[in-house]
Chains A and B, each alone.
Chain A
């Protein structure tokens, strides 16, 4: 059996880390002894999230930048490496719904679809291209793509987001196939419906009490990162089902 992946002492980069699931993942990983580089576009909320982790004794650093911006991507990776050292875990969590309220795909402007793909697909691809090489040379690493139910189901009005997440799922599988044997594990994780700002933007009238807390989902995802036997490279996992198992 493959040994568990040890979180303690590892360098981690999380995109979209200033709120919601990204922030919960940063808090969980920092509580487990990881050094966390937290990326987001907006410095204000990001510095609040970093300060919360530091106040609890965790190691966290802010890396301000937009993953959708090609010119910013080496800066994001470079700052993360400079601040937390070798990156052993990369979590592609930043994503955008596109224009809200959500509209029919057929009413979506081409430019709006392209912008969603830049953030949700091309950004993670660029960042992985920078981070995966050092992981492969060291023979260890985990890359996590935060996916969605919308990657699999065809819901009207979720088009741009769905298309990007479906493509990202396949990006994850192809990267896993190409990295087979290198020690780098690539996962896609559907977190399930969570009580987040993003969910409220997509489904304003949802019953919030029925939604999962981001912290519970973060614990499930960290358990996946630790468990190569149950979460092998190339897998697409569903967080609520993992917790139920």
Chain B
């Protein structure tokens, strides 16, 4: 973790783009004081006894499937979680894989309702592809395609884990193993991409939070794709509406935190979106819902007092959301510091802790 600024000649203006090991993540602390750096492991000291940390416990799906149309055209299906009743919601990309930049991939072949696609796997990464299952196009709206699968639930899940791999992007050439995109508290496989703000929450940090009197609670949010493969669509559609489930025990924990004057700290933008969506009708309600709200500079969070997130730059939808917690000038000062000391803006990179002024 860099603790001092490098000499001016070596200072950088842009964030790095490489991965950072879970236990080496650096936090930029953003609050009413000047931005400063801290090791992620010091999170328990940066929070206070009585605060509540809320995590998204969605496990990451092996959401990327290689498939082929009846005429032999190759495509990639990216599952939009959660999977319900043998139906798959997917985003379709053209031939090739993550090694090509998403926006440079050829457009996917057109798919019409009734058309059958076969999902394939290449065992051991070499040799002829084997068919794992067939799916029938039920509806297609551009790149958003719903598929029907004639497999019972057990066989569908088995097939997805046999054929799928984590969604990934061109900045990492090697294939991501499924374990590397799971948080330590991951439960039901709902997320199309890793709820990555929780990645540096190792057991060491989780247990230290508990010892420091910081409570931990969870919700499940089907974190979606960060790119659909078409810059124009990304701008219009992202973030897509996403399912979440908020258990009563977490609402009870939030109520108790409020009562004792503690703060609610969301681990990741998905937690913010779920909690703020659940509070839209005034009162937090347990159960399942769809988070479709867009948070930004004009919105005032109702539930969440602080946020741990990756480092996001202007132009990303997450950057908009961060502005619900800190002004643009405050964020930009923090990003400047992060770039100068060589922090990474990769989704598996460094992070920030934003604490909202109580006065708002």
The answer to whether the Cβ of A41 comes within 8 Å of any Cβ in the partner chain is no
Known A-B contacts A75-B161, A78-B59, A178-B203; the reply to A133 vs B188 at CB < 8 A is: no
Bound state CA distance, A82 and B59, in angstroms? 10
Query: Which of B57, B83, B158 is A137 in contact with, Cβ under 8 Å?
Result: B57
Query: Which of A64, A78, A178 is B189 in contact with, Cβ under 8 Å?
Result: A78
Which A residues lie within 8 Å of B157 (CB)? 78-79, 82-83
Chain B window 50-91, contacts with chain A (Cβ cutoff 8 Å), 1 for yes, 0 for no: 000001010101100000000000000000000100000000
Closest chain A CB from B187 CB (angstroms): 4
Closest to A77 in B: B59
Closest chain A CB from B240 CB (angstroms): 21
Q: Is there an interface contact between B185 and A79, defined as CB atoms closer than 8 Å?
A: no
Known A-B contacts A78-B59, A83-B154; the reply to A181 vs B210 at CB < 8 A is: yes
Known A-B contacts A75-B161, A137-B217, A182-B210; the reply to A82 vs B188 at CB < 8 A is: yes
Which A residues lie within 8 Å of B254 (CB)? none
Query: Which of A87, A134, A138, A181 is B249 in contact with, Cβ under 8 Å?
Result: A138
Bound state CA distance, A63 and B161, in angstroms? 11
Query: Which of B162, B178, B189, B210 is A82 in contact with, Cβ under 8 Å?
Result: B189
Q: Is there an interface contact between A133 and B183, defined as CB atoms closer than 8 Å?
A: yes
Bound state CA distance, A61 and B62, in angstroms? 20
The answer to whether the Cβ of A243 comes within 8 Å of any Cβ in the partner chain is no
Known A-B contacts A133-B203, A137-B216, A178-B203; the reply to A81 vs B161 at CB < 8 A is: no
The answer to whether the Cβ of A136 comes within 8 Å of any Cβ in the partner chain is yes
Which B residues lie within 8 Å of A61 (CB)? 153-154
The answer to whether the Cβ of A85 comes within 8 Å of any Cβ in the partner chain is yes
The answer to whether the Cβ of A74 comes within 8 Å of any Cβ in the partner chain is yes
Pick from B62, B153, B186, B187 the residue with the most CB of A within 10 Å. Answer: B187
Bound state CA distance, A85 and B220, in angstroms? 11
The answer to whether the Cβ of B206 comes within 8 Å of any Cβ in the partner chain is yes
Known A-B contacts A81-B189, A182-B210; the reply to A134 vs B218 at CB < 8 A is: yes
Q: Is there an interface contact between A86 and B158, defined as CB atoms closer than 8 Å?
A: no
Which A residues lie within 8 Å of B57 (CB)? 134, 137
The answer to whether the Cβ of A218 comes within 8 Å of any Cβ in the partner chain is no
Bound state CA distance, A181 and B203, in angstroms? 13
Which A residues lie within 8 Å of B14 (CB)? none
Bound state CA distance, A138 and B249, in angstroms? 8
CB-contacts of B188-210 with A (<8 A): 188-189, 203, 206-207, 210
Q: Is there an interface contact between B161 and A78, defined as CB atoms closer than 8 Å?
A: yes
The answer to whether the Cβ of B95 comes within 8 Å of any Cβ in the partner chain is no
Bound state CA distance, A73 and B161, in angstroms? 10
Closest chain B CB from A185 CB (angstroms): 16
Q: Is there an interface contact between A133 and B59, defined as CB atoms closer than 8 Å?
A: no
Q: Is there an interface contact between A138 and B210, defined as CB atoms closer than 8 Å?
A: no
Q: Is there an interface contact between A138 and B218, defined as CB atoms closer than 8 Å?
A: yes
Closest chain B CB from A45 CB (angstroms): 15
The answer to whether the Cβ of B184 comes within 8 Å of any Cβ in the partner chain is yes
Chain B window 147-167, contacts with chain A (Cβ cutoff 8 Å), 1 for yes, 0 for no: 000000110011001100000
The answer to whether the Cβ of A211 comes within 8 Å of any Cβ in the partner chain is no
Q: Is there an interface contact between B59 and A81, defined as CB atoms closer than 8 Å?
A: yes
The answer to whether the Cβ of B182 comes within 8 Å of any Cβ in the partner chain is yes
Which A residues lie within 8 Å of B188 (CB)? 81-82, 85-86
Q: Is there an interface contact between B187 and A74, defined as CB atoms closer than 8 Å?
A: no
Which A residues lie within 8 Å of B183 (CB)? 133
Closest chain A CB from B359 CB (angstroms): 32
Q: Is there an interface contact between A64 and B158, defined as CB atoms closer than 8 Å?
A: yes
Which B residues lie within 8 Å of A137 (CB)? 55, 57, 185, 206, 216-218
The answer to whether the Cβ of A130 comes within 8 Å of any Cβ in the partner chain is yes
Which A residues lie within 8 Å of B161 (CB)? 74-75, 78-79
Closest chain B CB from A208 CB (angstroms): 34
Known A-B contacts A74-B179, A86-B188, A130-B182; the reply to A136 vs B218 at CB < 8 A is: no
Bound state CA distance, A150 and B260, in angstroms? 52
Which B residues lie within 8 Å of A77 (CB)? 59
The answer to whether the Cβ of A144 comes within 8 Å of any Cβ in the partner chain is no
Known A-B contacts A81-B188, A86-B188; the reply to A133 vs B210 at CB < 8 A is: no
Which B residues lie within 8 Å of A181 (CB)? 210
Q: Is there an interface contact between B154 and A62, defined as CB atoms closer than 8 Å?
A: yes
Pick from B61, B62, B183, B188 the residue with the most CB of A within 10 Å. Answer: B188
Which A residues lie within 8 Å of B178 (CB)? 74-75, 78
Which B residues lie within 8 Å of A74 (CB)? 161, 178-179, 182
Known A-B contacts A78-B59, A78-B161, A82-B83; the reply to A133 vs B185 at CB < 8 A is: yes
Which A residues lie within 8 Å of B55 (CB)? 137
Task: Please name the 4 residue pairs, one residue from A and one from B, whose CB atoms are nearest each other, closest first.
Answer: A75-B161, A133-B185, A134-B187, A133-B184
Q: What are 9 contact pairs spanning A and B, CB under 8 A?
A: A78-B59, A79-B154, A79-B157, A82-B83, A83-B154, A133-B184, A137-B185, A137-B206, A138-B249
